[in-house]
Structure 1
């Protein structure tokens, strides 16, 4: 019985960390217009995705490498660029735990879908 309860609690924690949205981080569609000198753009998409849609001046550091290279990120305001909600949630939670200030995030797949719907 104890093994079942601990398995369920571990599964619940896993789901919460990855899929439950992060609070108090605004989703910014017009992030490029608001970019200022005191904000660092951090691109946490896979290299395969970020090389096809490169963002000028962004630090490219995929989610899988955050734990190893987070010390190379400047301690300034961070605007996070992700390709899906899972990447966004995991990255924001990790960076907040390490003391970074996330001022906003954007999901490029959602933006592309919104632009496609508007053009139809």
Structure 2
């Protein structure tokens, strides 16, 4: 019985850490992003498709492991609607070997083409 309780507490602790503990990357702001950065939008497709950004890779967190080969090589920035989404996206991409330099937080009601100017 104590082993089972220890196992459940361990699994719960890992899940809390994976989702809520901040990642060790810095938050970027839209004016700092240049065209050499690859922005990966990890918001849901309903939110990310509101603005047509040609230079942004729309790949929600649930699809990263399946479609990570669609992400070009280079320094990545993760764009999400809240810190939890960014944490999960950054952790998954780092685990897959990508160089993630930071994250951007954009509201789910905002369009990425109004928020970013990747000229």
Alignment of 1:81-120 (within 5 A): 81-109=79-107
Write 1 or 2 for the structure with the bigger share of helix.
1
TM superposition shift of 1:37? 3.4
Q: 2:45: which partner in 1?
A: 47
Where does the alignment leave 5 or more consecutive residues of structure 1 unmatched? 113-120
Q: 1:65: which partner in 2?
A: 63
TM superposition shift of 1:53? 3.9
> What TM-score do you get using the length of structure 2 for normalisation?
0.82
Give CA-to-partner distance per residue, 1:38-80, whole Å, 9 cap, x none.
2111111001111224434101011111010011111210111
Q: 2:113: which partner in 1?
A: none
Where does the alignment leave 5 or more consecutive residues of structure 2 unmatched? 111-119
Q: 2:5: which partner in 1?
A: 4
CA RMSD of aligned residues (A): 1.7
Residue 49 of structure 2 aligns to a residue whose secondary structure is helix
